[in-house]
Amino acid sequence: MNISENIKKIHEEVTNWRHELHANPELCYEENWTAEFITEKLKSFGIEVHNKIGKTGVIGVLKGSNSQEHKSNRSIGLRADMDALPIEEENDFDYKSKFLGKMHACGHDGHIAMLLGAAKILSKEKKFSGTVYFIFQPAEEGGGGGLKMINDGLFDNFPMESVWGLHNWPGLDVGEIAVHKGPVMASFDQFRVLINGVGGHAASPHHASDPIIATSGVIQSLQQIVSRKQNPLDPVVVSVTKIESGTAFNIIPQDANFIGTIRTLNPKTRSLVKEQFIDICNSTANAYGCTAKVEINEGYPVTINTSMESDIAIEVAKKVVKTKAVKDNLAPSMGAEDFAYMLEKKPGAYIWLGAGEGKSGCMLHNSKYDFNDEIIPLGISYWYNLVENQLSVES
Ligand SMILES: [Zn+2]
Ligand SMILES: [Zn+2]
């Protein structure tokens, strides 16, 4: 690992910020205290701050000291997500969440702290030419804060050439960084299906159209999408996660409903799967003498790193950790990430920063998860080297 002295020097200070953030978690679009915390820090570094972009989002604008001299209008955006999760924390350390039922279980506290650490060092040195935008985004955990910031003028009012994100990644060793060339996280859509039949006495099925049998047929048939209709080399997940129907042992109910999620790693596959899904629901329900009403709500798109920027991220990662610790051939995750919206508009890359096993060996969204403070210098160093790579005074 190659961490500069000035980054090592602020490790403890940034760790303290991380703990303060951890103790004060806020959910989607409620990140008011967090936004104030960020604003106050950025201002103390002499960075221009813009608030309420995407409700509780914050943007810091830092121009390099060489901007005038080199007349550079180059610019990049570095993004950290800010929100916590509705989980009751089970940890027992002194910076445990102060609020019942809310906790930073995805490490966004660490993402904020590391980006603030990078902002502190970059603002002191200003050894770059052009503009760095520090993007603190709300509501990553299902609220689509990335999209809300874009709709609120993120890229119109703060024109940047590219956007960059990172996520702490338990399961990857500390000192490892993964960069995907192409898709890194899946799209996710939510479906709700209502199967309507004809209710009746359980003793007289021939007088009814049983929506429960129809629902079981539909759910079985939906798995054909994954096993028979899609290219096995192009991953798709169709998961039914809840079924509801019926009231008593002797009544065939009138209807049944189920919900679940569709995930893909390819935008074209995503729309094709939706068509196949609707088609199978309708035709299978009809085969059982029932009808189907299908509702599909679009969630986050596929997170896709652009080719040139993934190569840049790999190059930068190799400056931070050992060459062989930079993994560019890992399989993507079928989890979703709303940085996808930003990557739909701008070139960029989203990397996984190895977080090791964790103190209690638990994964993201676990009630005992705690961001690994050991990786703080690595995250800051990645941001610092990325700015140097993209906005070098010589360019
Ligand atoms: Zn999460
Ligand atoms: Zn997260």
Domain ranges of the chain: 5-185+302-390, 187-298
Q: In 3-state terms, what secondary structure has residue 111?
A: helix
Q: How many angstroms is it from 140 CA to the middle of ligand 2?
A: 7
pLDDT at 69: 60
Q: How many angstroms is it from 120 CA to the middle of ligand 1?
A: 26
- The CATH number of 5-185+302-390 is 3.40.630.10
Q: How many angstroms is it from 217 CA to the middle of ligand 1?
A: 34
Distance (Å, whole) CA 222 – CA 204:
28
| CATH number, domain 187-298, options 3.30.70.360, 3.40.50.970, 3.40.630.190, 3.30.450.20 | 3.30.70.360
Q: Among 248, 261, 244, 249, which Cα is nearest to 195's?
A: 244
Q: How many angstroms is it from 177 CA to the middle of ligand 1?
A: 18
Q: How many angstroms is it from 316 CA to the middle of ligand 1?
A: 25
Q: How many angstroms is it from 364 CA to the middle of ligand 2?
A: 8
Q: In 3-state terms, what secondary structure has residue 297?
A: strand
Q: How many angstroms is it from 352 CA to the middle of ligand 2?
A: 11
Q: How many angstroms is it from 338 CA to the middle of ligand 2?
A: 9
Q: How many angstroms is it from 364 CA to the middle of ligand 1?
A: 6
Q: Which distant-in-sequence residues (6+ apart) come within 8 Å of 86 by Cβ?
A: 27, 101, 102
Distance (Å, whole) CA 109 – CA 98:
14
Per-residue pLDDT of the chain (395 residues; tens, 9 = 90+): 778 999 999 999 999 999 999 999 999 999 999 999 999 999 999 999 999 999 999 999 999 986 556 567 899 999 999 999 999 999 999 999 999 999 999 999 999 999 999 999 999 998 899 999 999 999 999 999 999 999 999 999 999 999 999 999 999 999 999 999 999 999 999 999 999 999 999 999 999 999 999 999 999 999 999 999 999 999 999 999 999 999 999 999 999 999 999 999 999 999 999 999 999 999 999 999 999 999 999 999 999 999 999 999 999 999 999 999 999 999 999 999 999 999 999 999 999 999 998 666 789 999 999 999 999 999 999 999 999 999 987 64
- Which pair of structure tokens corresponds to residue 5? 């002295």
Q: How many angstroms is it from 132 CA to the middle of ligand 2?
A: 23
Q: Which distant-in-sequence residues (6+ apart) come within 8 Å of 352 by Cβ?
A: 166, 167, 168, 169, 172, 177, 178, 179, 184, 330
- Which pair of structure tokens corresponds to residue 117? 């650490």
Contact in structure between 386 and 317 (CB atoms under 8 Å): no
Distance of CA 128 to the CA centre of its chain: 29
* Phi-psi group of 11: left, alpha or beta (phi > 0 → left; psi -120 to 50 → alpha; rest → beta): alpha
